[in-house]
Structure 1
Amino acid sequence: MNSFQASENLSRAKTFPLNCSRGNLSKTCPANDLPSRQALKIQGPQPPTCPDYFRWIHEDLRPWMKSGITKEMVMAPRKAANFRPVIVKGKAYVETYRKSFQTRDTFTLWGILQLLRRYPGRVPDLDLMFHCGDMPVVLRENFRPGARRQPPPVFRYCGHEEAFDIVFPDWSFWGWAEINIKPWGSLAGELKEGNRRMKWEERQPYAYWKGNPQVSQTRLDLLDCNITSAPNFDYKARIYNQDWLKEQEEGYKNSNLADQCIHRYKIYVEGRSWSVSHKYILACDSTTLLVRPSFHDFFSRSLLPLKHYWPITDDAAEICASIRRAVDWGNANPAAAQAIGEEGSRFVAEQVKMEYVYDYMLQLLKEYAKLLRYRPSVPEKAVEICSETMACAAEGRAKRFMDESLVERPAVAAPCVMPPPFDAASFGAVWRRKEEGMEGMKSWEREYEYRRDHNQF
C-alpha cells in the first residue's frame, strides 16, 4: 500500500455524518462534532499549484498588506454587514446583524462549516464581516490615498474596480433553495451529461438568454434583441423572461439548467451586479457571449476573450447588432466558435470544481488571518454553529441541498499550493492577453462587416 492509499483509507475511516438524533434537534452542537480538530497528516504526492485566479487573493488583500487589520477596522462596517463569522480553535460562531435576501446567509455559513469539515485543524482563527447584498459597500472614493481612515475589510460575493470588497464564493455553490438550483458539486455533473446529449453543431444556431430582465437596464436592453421585439429583423437572439413565481407553481419543470444547453450560443449579462448564472452558462459547452461586465466573482478575472468567451458590448444602441455579428461569425466559423465554448466549459469543470472552491476559501482565509493584528475571540452576542444546528432542523429543499453538499470526511489530499502574487511583468501580461483578445474580436467584426457588405453570408 502506498502512502497516498494509506492516507485515503485513513480519511475514509474518519467519516463524520450528521448527528441528528431526536435529542439533538435543540440546535446545539454535539461535543464530538468533528473526529479531530487537528490537521490530518497527509502523505500523498505534492499537491498541484492552485489555478491562476488564486493570485487575485493577493490583490484583494493588498489594501491591508502594510497596515494589517485591527479589530476597529473589522467592526467599522457592522451596520452594513449581514453577519460576523468567527472561527476560534476550529469552532464556528456567528453574530447576526440582519437577515439577507432569501437564504444567501444560510448557505454561505453552511459553506464555511463544510470547509471546517473538509480541512479540520487547517482553518485559522478568524474574525470578519460578511455582506450578502448585490452592491459593493467599501467604495474606493471614500478612502483615497492620504485619507485618515483605512478601508474596512468586508467579504462579499463579487468585486468592482472601484471598491475594496473582498471576493468570496457565493452561496449557490451549496444550492439556491428558493429557485431549485442544486449544489454545484452535483449540478456540474448534470450539465456535463446534458452536453453529451446534444453536440454543438446539432444545437439551435441562435443566442439564448433566460432570466429576470427587471433588475438592470442592460437586461431590459437585451429584450429589444428578441425576434418578437424586432419582427422585421432577426438579431439571432432568443430572449425569454423567467417568471419564477410561475415556475414555482409548476414545480420548476421548465427551469432545469441541464436541459437548457440546446443553443450554440448562450448570453451572460449582469443583473443588479454580477450573476451566479455565470458558471452555469460557461459550463454548457455553448459559446458564451459575455456582455461587458462591471463586476467580477472570484474566478472570472482569469477568463480571456476569444479563449473562454466572445465579448459583447453593453452599449444599448449596439448590443443587438453585437450579438448578431457574434452569431453570424460563429455559424460561419463553427470549429472556432465551438472551441471557445468547450474551453469555457473546461475552465469551470477543471478549475472551478468544488475541491478548488474549498481551496480558494481556505487560502483566502489563511492569507486574511495573517493580516489580523489581534487574537480573535468569541463575541458576546455570537452563537456557536455547526452542521447539526443548521441541517438537522432544516426542511424541504434547504434540507435536501444541505444533505447533498455535506462534507462527510476530511480531504484525502492537501490543499493546492498558493501561487505567488503578480509582479509587474505578470500583471501586465494578463492585461495584454485580454487586450489581444479584444483586438482579435474587432478584427473578426471588421471581416464580418466586409462580408456582409459584399453579400457573402
Structure 2
Amino acid sequence: MEATIRRPLAKTSLTVIFLLLLALGLFIVTRDYIDSNSANMMIAGNSRQIMNPQSIESAPKTLKYYPLNCSLGNLSRSTCPANYYPSTKFLQPENGNKSSSCPDYFRWMYEDLSAWRETGITKEMVMNGRPMAHFRLVILRGRVYVEKYREVFQSRDIFTIWGILQLLRRYPGKVPDLELMFDCSDRPSIRKGLNNNPALFRYCGDSSSVEILFPDWSFWGWPEINIEPWEVLSKGIAEGTKRRSWMQKEPYAYWKGNPTVNPRRKDLLRCNVSPKQDWNARVYAHDWKREERQGFKNSDLSTQCTHRYKVYVEGVGWSVSEKYIMACDSMTLLVNPHYYEFFSRSLMPLQHYWPIKDYDMCPSIKFAVDWGNTHQQEAEAIGKAGSSFIQQDLKMDNVYDYMFHVLNLYAKLLKYKPTAPEGAVEICSESIACPAEGFKKKCLSESMVEGFVDSNPCTMAPPYDPVSFQSLLRKKDESMKKVEALEKEYGERGHMGKN
C-alpha cells in the first residue's frame, strides 16, 4: 500500500519541480529582453512599438525595424550613434527588382535639372547658391552634415532635414554622397539665364526661375499651427469627406485662411456674401495668433470638407494649403497660380480642378459654382479626381520616392566629390527627435520611418520628348480656353443653362 502511495507523490513532485524551473527560465529570459531594450528608447511618450535589433529578421518582410537610441548624449542634444544602420545584409530587397511605376509628376524633375544637363554641377555652382540658402546639407556614406547660414521662419529647416533623415532610414545605403544648398523661402530666387547657374533646392518655382523642387516641410508636420504630418492628416481629411455626400454639401465655394499675406486673398474677401450681392462664396479670415491662444479649436482641416467647392489662392508665394484643399472631394476652384510645387504641374484643369481668374475673381467664382450646381455629376467627378490625385499619387510612399529620385539625379550631375564642410554639425534622427517636446515631438514621432522597406523605389519614366511635352502644354491651354469660352457665354446670357 505504501509503494502505491509514494509513486504518484514522486511523479507529482517531479512535475512541480519541472514547472518551477520552466517559470524561472521564462522570467530570466523576459527580464533580460526588457533590460536589453531599456537603453534603446524611442521618443519620450511615443507609443510606437520598440523592437530589439536582434528581432529584425522576425519583422515583416516589407519593413525592417530599428529603433532610435535616445540613451546617448544629454537632454538638450542627443549624440548620433556610431553604427546608425543595421547590417548591410538586410539592405538588398528580398522581392527582387520589381517596383511600381512612379506617378507622372515625377517626370518634371528632369525639367528642373535641365539647366545643368550639359555642364553638370560644379562646386562653384553649388556655392553660388549660398547667398540665398538657409542651410547647406552634405550626405556622406549615409550620414548627414548640416551648416546653417541664417534663421528660418518657424521650424521649416528642421522638418525638411528630418524628412531627408527619414528617407535615409527608408532606403539606407541607396542615397549617394551629395552636397546641396536649400532655401526655405516661399518664393523662387534664381532667374533663368545666369552664368554658372546656382544649384539651389527649394519648395516652389515659377516660369522664369531655375529651381530644384523638393517636398515642403509640412509633409512631416507643422507644429507652430498644430498641423499633423501628411500621412496622418490626409487620412483624417479622407474620413472627413465621408461625413457628407457631395450632394449633401453646402452648394457654395469655401475658403478659410490668412488674408493679409497676399493682395489676391484680400480681393477674395470681397467675394463674400453680402446684403447686396451673393457671389456663391463663403470666405473666412483666419487669425492664427488668436487660434493659438484658443488651442486651435477652429483649425481642424478634417472638418473643412463641408462645401461642394473649395478655393485655393496663393499666399506670400506658393502655399502648402493646396494639398489640404484638394484632399477634400470638393471641386477645387484654383485661382490662377503664379508658382508651382513639385507635384502641381501635372494637375489638369477640368480634370483635377476648375480654373478661376485672378483679375476678375468674384464673377469667375460665381460662374464656377453655378456651372457645378447645374452640372452636378461633372463637378463631383472633377472634385473626386483631384482628391484621388492628392490622396493616392501624393501618399508618403511616393513623396519619399520623389525625394530619392531627385537626389539621385542631382548627385549624378555633381562634378566633384563632396566632403563635410568645416564647422558643419552631424545631424541624425536622434539629435532632432530625442530632445523634442510637446506637439513637435508628436509630429516627429508620427512621421518617423521605423525602418527600411524591403522593396525598390518606384520606376521613373523617361523625360518628356519635345512632341509629348508640347502636347501636354497644349492640352492644358485648351482646357483653360474652354473655361474662358464658357464663362464668356455665361456673362453674355446672364444665366446658366444646361448644354
Q: 1:387 aligns with which of 413, 429, 441?
A: 429
1:15 aligns with 2:65: yes
1:182 to 203, 228, 233: 228
Q: Show the counterpart of 2:22.
A: none
Sequence identity (%) = 54
Q: Would the alpha carbon gap of residues 363 and 354 (structure 1) be closer, same or farther in structure 2, given more than 3 Å must change?
A: same
Match of 1:307 among 341, 351, 359: 351
Structure 1 residues 291-346: Cα deviation after superposition (integer angstroms, max 9, x where no partner): 0001000000000000000000000xx11000000000001111100000000000
Does residue 250 in structure 1 map to residue 300 in structure 2? Answer: no
What secondary structure sits across from 1:207 in the alignment?
strand
Change (3 A) 1:453 1:15: closer
Q: 1 CA distance for matches of 2:269 and 2:233?
A: 28
Secondary structure, in 3 states, of the residue corresponding to 1:410?
A: strand
Residue of structure 2 aligned with 1:436, choices 478, 482, 486: 478
- The answer as to whether partners of 1:53 and 1:301 remain within 8 angstroms in 2 is yes
Instruction: Name the CA shift for 1:396/1:443 in 2 (closer, same or farther; >3 Å).
Output: same
Alignment of 1:75-94 (within 5 A): 75-94=127-146
- Is the contact made by 1:29 and 1:389 (CA closer than 8 Å) also made in structure 2? yes
Tell me, what secondary structure is at the counterpart of 1:85?
Answer: strand
User: After the TM superposition, which residues 54-453 of structure 1 pair with which residues of structure 2 at under 5 Å, given as runs?
Assistant: 54-140=106-192, 143=194, 149-228=195-274, 231-315=275-359, 318-449=360-491, 452-453=494-495
Q: What is the rounded CA distance, in whole Å, between the counterparts of 1:454 and 1:327 in structure 2?
A: 10
Q: Is the 8 A contact 1:140 1:164 kept in 2?
A: yes
Deviation at 1:21, TM superposition (A): 2.3
Which secondary structure does the structure 2 equivalent of 1:186 belong to?
A: helix
- Cα displacement (A) at 1:18: 1.5
Determine if contact 2:335/2:358 at 8 Å carries over to the other structure: yes
Q: Distance in 2 between matches of 1:56 and 1:39?
A: 32
SS at match of 1:289: strand
SS of residue paired to 1:239: strand
SS at match of 1:441: helix
**Cα deviations by residue, 1:348-400 (Å, 9 ceiling, x for unpaired):** 11100000000000000000000000001111111111000001001111111
Secondary structure of 1:297's match?
Answer: coil
Distance 1:447 1:412, change over 3 A: farther
Is the partner of 1:92 in helix, strand or coil?
strand
Q: Following the alignment from structure 1 to structure 2, what is the Cα–Cα distance between the partners of residues 202 and 340?
A: 17
Deviation at residue 73 of structure 1 after TM alignment: 1.0
Q: 1:22 to 1:421 in 2, by over 3 A?
A: closer
Name the CA shift for 1:248/1:422 in 2 (closer, same or farther; >3 Å): same
- How far off its partner does 1:20 sit? 1.4
**Take 1:455 and 1:49, find their aligned partners in 2: how far apart are those partners?**
42
Look up the match of 1:146. Answer: none
Report the TM-score, using the length of structure 2 for normalisation: 0.85
Cα contact 1:119–1:410 (8 A) shared by 2: yes
Give the TM-score, by structure 1 length.
Answer: 0.93
Whole-angstrom distance in 2 between the partners of 1:97 and 1:455: 58
Give per-residue Cα distances to partners, 1:65-88, cap 9 Å, x unaligned.
111111111112212210001000
Instruction: Report if aligned partners of 1:225, 1:235 keep a CA contact under 8 Å in 2.
Output: yes
Q: Matched residues in 2 for 1:52 and 1:93: separation? A: 32
Separation of aligned partners in 2, 1:224 and 1:215: 15
Partner of 1:30: 81
Q: Does 1:40 align with 2:91?
A: yes
Say which SS state the counterpart of residue 113 (structure 2) adopts.
helix
Seen in structure 2, the aligned counterparts of structure 1 residues 203 and 375 have a Cα distance that, compared at 3 Å, is same
Q: Secondary structure at the match of 2:83?
A: coil
Q: 1:403 to 1:430 in 2, by over 3 A?
A: same
C-alpha change, 1:196 and 1:243, in structure 2 (3 Å) is same
In structure 2, the CA distance between the partners of 1:186 and 1:452, relative to structure 1 (3 Å rule), is: same
- Secondary structure of the structure 2 residue equivalent to 1:159: coil
Where 2:252 maps in the other structure, the secondary structure is strand
The one-letter amino acid paired with 1:383 is V
Is the CA contact (8 Å cut-off) linking 2:370 and 2:496 kept in structure 1?
no
- CA 1:94 to 1:330, structure 2 compared with 1: closer, same or farther past 3 Å? same
SS in 1 for 2:144: strand
Deviations 1:218-257 (A, max 9, x none): 11111110114xx311001111111001111111111100
Aligned partner of residue 197 in structure 1, secondary structure: coil
Rate the CA distance shift 1:456–1:83 in 2: closer, same or farther, 3 A: closer
Amino acid at match of 1:18: L
Shift of 1:38: 7.3
User: Conserved in 2, the CA contact under 8 Å of 1:38 and 1:122?
Assistant: no
For residues 297 and 370 of structure 1, the distance between their equivalents in structure 2, rounded to whole angstroms, comes to 23
Q: Which amino acid aligns with 2:310?
A: K
Q: What letter is aligned with 2:60?
A: N
CA distance in 2, matches of 1:196, 1:373: 51
| Structure 1 stretches lacking a partner, 5+ long | 1-5, 144-148
> What SS is found at the alignment partner of 2:145?
strand
